[in-house]
Amino acid sequence: MMDVYASITELKGVGEKRARSLSKAGINTVNDLLSFYPRTYLDWSRAYGIGSAPLNENVCVRAFVGSVVREHVIRKGMTTYSFDITDGRDVMAVTFFNNKYVGSMLKTGEEYLFYGKITTLGRGYKSMTSPKFVKADSSVALKPVYPQTSELNSNYFEKLIASALGNVGVIPDCIPESVRNDYCLMSRDDAIRNIHFPASPDLLSEAKRRISFEELFLLQVGLSRLKIKSRKATAYSLEKDYSEEFCALLPFKLTGAQKRAIADCTADMSSGVPMNRLLQGDVGSGKTAVSAALVYNAVRNGFQAAIMAPTEVLARQHYNTFTRFFSGTGITVGILTGSVSAKEKREIKDKLASGEINLIVGTHAIIQKDVVFRNLGLAVTDEQHRFGVNQRGALGSKGKNPHTLVMSATPIPRTLSLIIYGDLDISILDEMPAGRQKTETYVVDYDKRERAYGYVKKHILSGYQGYIVCPLVDTDDDEEPDSERKASVKLYEELSSGFFKGFRLGLLYGKMKADEKKEIMAQFAAGDIDLLISTTVIEVGVDVPNAVIMVIENADCFGLSQLHQLRGRVGRGDVKSTCILISDIKNGQVKERLGILESTTDGFKIADEDLKLRGPGDFIGSRQHGLPDLKLTKMLTDSETVRETHYAAEKLLKNNPALEGEEYTQLKKRVNEMFSKGLVLN
Ligand code: ADP
Ligand code: MG
């Protein structure tokens, strides 16, 4: 018997050339091949009569061949072969093109199953073109259809997988028997055989359930083990809690939620094992102050802290905020981003290594190899969803098991946070600072655009500032990487020479030089710009309380959560703010979707709607999350299975954290395989 982990080349008929084509499809071992699941199935189990079969969709018809094959040359190189089939009541034509072998394969008077689309030729006369067919007494029910690659077709995969299944013997199981019994799961052997060659529709759905469960279970076991693994001893325990002292530095009183989060974190940081926590809170809930309290505690207890933000703009802003918070305390703050000059960089790196700088704020520039700390005890990552798991880890590895806090403003449905943040403890800021007013939101048609702008003008004339967020242009086209810039420049030019002539307008887009961005943001924050025309670069974290009005063009092109994030740029002071969403799409569903933003400011509710409407892509990003690829990603929305697997994994690891014992060999092997890209478990 062949090992399931054997190389694909061990299979008969797989030479070097085929192996290369298979490898391109991600298939290197027999196990990879067996995990290459059908895209869909041709259902031969439900055979129609000619009269009752639906038109224009793939169906299976049971009928006798009722005539000889007629050969007809249409033109040079194009010959049709057609014949009639009948089920005893109706007659239908079947036609093949340039396929002279059908005649010899089909026998007049015998019964077959024909699989294909039926079209009508008028006057009740129906026809099927190039159907697949098998003898009526064959046992085939659901025939797998595999994703094609340019070099390998579905039939090739079907044959190869059938041959592999014939060679491997019983496929070992990776889900322990106790878990299988608890959740009534079929064995892996049954599941793999049935997902490729279903014995019945029922067994197929059981197989799919088992395979979904397996994939999520492996993921959850992997994440739980990461969590356990990170519980090493740390040298950075808080000897004394300085939170009270920090509060006295603040110009405001902390909310109850902020206090609770700080208490969660300081407890972690005093425990002797590294904190590994996610701080989740809607935009404007005050995550920065929480992180500042921890930084203060870390520095007062004698170790360094680092804060990493995803963009230059945010890093600058944090730098300013922390410098303000800590002025007069003797805490030294440094900044390290792409736009810092080489000379300054060198100085800052020296001061970090010597311990002269207590807190470094920056972009991913601070995880570069040559950045060395004297004693990094706390690593904070802001807007975590913008970074992958690996980048998050990179900051942590700059110290000897430092405490890590990741902050995210993207409210994530619980289901998904169990997946994305399965390795973290979670604190939630579910309370807004007092005096904060809800931002009024209106969805308006494009023809009200002028009125919306008039409203903006009124606010500017009263001394406030505003944002206009640029329409999203179709950027699927990689040939046109500049479209973001073009769209914003166009709008900026239109407005500065038109409706907002004489006002102080600013322009901000992603591809701008870091220095320019910095300059524009500084001017906006200082009140030297009235109206900022921007793309979604302002989405994360930007904090200018005097900006109280925002117009978002082509709002229908954005996801709800993204709109919610954008909207969070206003309503940051104690004045009532307004957000106007412009859409020229008359479609009722679109209006209803945007209407959710009119009716609620609860980020979690909005996130749930987004998950329902758009799937998980918006939350985990396609490439950035750093988690292993899940083949059946639609399962991410299968909250039931996510929860089941989460609890099953926790229960298993609680009793046996190291997964000792022979019955767990397969499980460990598969988990390691899943996390093999940079996340290997011991
Ligand atoms: P986010 O959670 O989106 O990162 P920030 O930390 O940027 O939010 O806080 C948003 C604004 O609220 C900032 O201007 C901050 O100074 C202010 N803020 C934070 N906490 C409080 C509080 N407890 N009371 C009043 N204002 C606060
Ligand atoms: Mg923030």
| pLDDT tens readout for residues 492-506 | 999 999 999 999 999
Q: Grade residue 481 by pLDDT with cuts at 50, 70 and 90.
A: low
Q: Grade residue 668 by pLDDT with cuts at 50, 70 and 90.
A: very high
Q: Distance between CA 117 and CA 130 in Å, rounded?
A: 9
pLDDT given at position 230: 64
Q: Grade residue 455 by pLDDT with cuts at 50, 70 and 90.
A: very high
Strands of 388-504, DSSP E: 403-408, 425-429, 440-445, 465-469
Q: Distance between CA 163 and CA 642 in Å, rounded?
A: 34
**DSSP per-residue codes, 72-104:** EEEETTEEEEEEEEE-SS-EEEEEEES-TTHHH
Helix, strand, coil shares of the chain, percent, nearest 5, are 40, 20, 40
In the chain, the percentage of residues whose pLDDT exceeds 70 is 89
In the chain, the percentage of residues whose pLDDT exceeds 90 is 48
Query: CATH number, domain at 84?
Result: 2.40.50.140
pLDDT given at position 227: 73
| Burial 613-651, CB ≥16 within 10 A → b, else e | eeebebbbeeeebbbbebeeeebbebeebbebbbebbee
> Both 260 and 348 in a single domain?
yes
The more confidently predicted of residues 253 and 233 is 253
> Both 294 and 385 in a single domain?
yes
**DSSP per-residue codes, 159-190:** HHHHHHHHHS-SPPP-S-HHHHHHTTPPPHHH
> Both 587 and 546 in a single domain?
yes
| pLDDT tens readout for residues 647-663 | 899 899 888 888 999 88
Distance from residue 283's CA to the centre of ligand 1 (Å): 9
Dihedral sign of CA atoms 131, 137, 143, 148 in order: negative
> Both 412 and 473 in a single domain?
no
Give residue 495's Cα distance to chain centre.
Answer: 35
Give residue 625's Cα distance to chain centre.
Answer: 6
Mean pLDDT calculated for residue range 307-319:
89
Tell me if 543 CB under 6 Å of ligand 1.
yes
CB 566 within 8 A of CB 552: yes
Atom of ligand 1 nearest to the CA of 321: 16
> Both 386 and 410 in a single domain?
yes
Tell me if 190 CB under 6 Å of ligand 1.
no
- Among 285, 288, 321, name the best residue to mutate to test ligand 1's pocket (greatest count of ligand atoms within 8 A of Cβ): 288
Residue 88 lies in a domain: yes
Query: CATH number, domain at 469?
Result: 3.40.50.300
CB 82 within 8 A of CB 93: yes
Is the pLDDT confidence value at 149 over 90?
no
> Both 76 and 3 in a single domain?
no
- Which residue is closest in CA terms to ligand 1's atom 18? 286
Q: Distance between CA 615 and CA 630 in Å, rounded?
A: 14
| pLDDT tens readout for residues 93-137 | 999 998 878 878 889 999 999 999 999 877 778 999 999 888 888
Tell me if 547 CB under 6 Å of ligand 1.
no
The last residue of one of the domains, among 570, 600, 630, is 600
Burial class (CB in 10 A: 0-12, 13-18, 19+), 155: exposed
Domain count, the chain: 4
> Both 525 and 417 in a single domain?
no
Residue 189 lies in a domain: no
Residue 204 lies in a domain: no
Tell me if 288 CB under 6 Å of ligand 1.
yes
Residue 656 lies in a domain: no
Pick from 47, 64, 53: nearest CA to 106 = 64
Q: Distance between CA 76 and CA 381 in Å, rounded?
A: 68
> Both 419 and 475 in a single domain?
no
Is the pLDDT confidence value at 477 over 50?
no
Residue 258 lies in a domain: yes
- Which residue is closest in CA terms to ligand 1's atom 27? 433
| pLDDT tens readout for residues 13-52 | 899 999 999 998 889 999 989 989 998 898 887 889 998 9
Distance from residue 407's CA to the centre of ligand 1 (Å): 14
| pLDDT tens readout for residues 610-629 | 777 766 555 554 333 445 55
Tell me if 398 CB under 6 Å of ligand 1.
no
Q: Distance between CA 344 and CA 588 in Å, rounded?
A: 55
Ligand nearest the Cα atom of residue 381? 2
Q: What is the dihedral of CA 374, 379, 380, 384, to 10 degrees?
A: 130
The last residue of one of the domains, among 580, 600, 620, is 600
- Which residue is closest in CA terms to ligand 1's atom 15? 286
| pLDDT tens readout for residues 546-572 | 999 999 998 988 888 889 888 988 988
Instruction: Count CA within 13 A, CB hemisphere, residue 565.
Output: 24
- Among 428, 543, 561, 570, name the best residue to mutate to test ligand 1's pocket (greatest count of ligand atoms within 8 A of Cβ): 543
Ligand nearest the Cα atom of residue 568? 1
Edge-to-edge strand list for the sheet holding 547-552: 440-445, 578-583, 547-552, 465-469, 531-534, 505-508
pLDDT given at position 614: 64
The last residue of one of the domains, among 554, 585, 600, is 600
Distance from residue 293's CA to the centre of ligand 1 (Å): 13
Tell me if 411 CB under 6 Å of ligand 1.
no
pLDDT given at position 513: 86
Tell me if 572 CB under 6 Å of ligand 1.
yes
Dihedral sign of CA atoms 365, 368, 374, 375 in order: positive
Is the pLDDT confidence value at 633 over 70?
no
> Both 398 and 270 in a single domain?
yes
Dihedral sign of CA atoms 50, 53, 57, 59 in order: negative
pLDDT given at position 541: 54
What 3-state DSSP class applies to 60?
strand
Q: Distance between CA 297 and CA 246 in Å, rounded?
A: 8
Distance from residue 552's CA to the centre of ligand 1 (Å): 23
> Both 315 and 455 in a single domain?
no
Residue 187 lies in a domain: no
Angle between helix axes 256-269 and 287-300 (nearest 10 degrees) is: 30
Residues 6+ apart with CB under 8 A from 46: 60
- Which residue is closest in CA terms to ligand 1's atom 5? 286
Mean pLDDT taken over the chain:
86
pLDDT given at position 638: 65
Pick from 453, 387, 346: nearest CA to 625 = 387
Is the pLDDT confidence value at 459 over 70?
yes
Owning domain of residue 583 = 440-600
- Which residue is closest in CA terms to ligand 1's atom 24? 433
The more confidently predicted of residues 286 and 283 is 286
Pick from 262, 324, 328, 334: nearest CA to 298 = 262
pLDDT given at position 415: 64
Measure the N-to-C terminal CA separation of the chain; round to a whole number of Å. 29
Ligand nearest the Cα atom of residue 309? 2
Mean pLDDT calculated for residue range 592-619:
78
- Among 260, 285, 561, name the best residue to mutate to test ligand 1's pocket (greatest count of ligand atoms within 8 A of Cβ): 285
- Among 247, 249, 252, 320, name the best residue to mutate to test ligand 1's pocket (greatest count of ligand atoms within 8 A of Cβ): 252
> Both 385 and 517 in a single domain?
no
Is the pLDDT confidence value at 604 over 90?
no
Residue 620 lies in a domain: no
The more confidently predicted of residues 536 and 178 is 178
Single-letter amino acid, residue 650 = E
Q: Distance between CA 84 and CA 93 in Å, rounded?
A: 5
Give residue 257's Cα distance to chain centre.
Answer: 28
Other Cβ atoms closer than 10 A to 253: 10
Give residue 496's Cα distance to chain centre.
Answer: 37
> Both 503 and 412 in a single domain?
no
Residue 214 lies in a domain: no
Residues 6+ apart with CB under 8 A from 209: 185, 641
Query: CATH number, domain at 22?
Result: 1.10.150
Atom of ligand 1 nearest to the CA of 288: 6
Tell me if 283 CB under 6 Å of ligand 1.
yes
Residue spans of alpha helices (H) in 197-311: 201-229, 243-247, 256-269, 287-300
Distance from residue 545's CA to the centre of ligand 1 (Å): 10
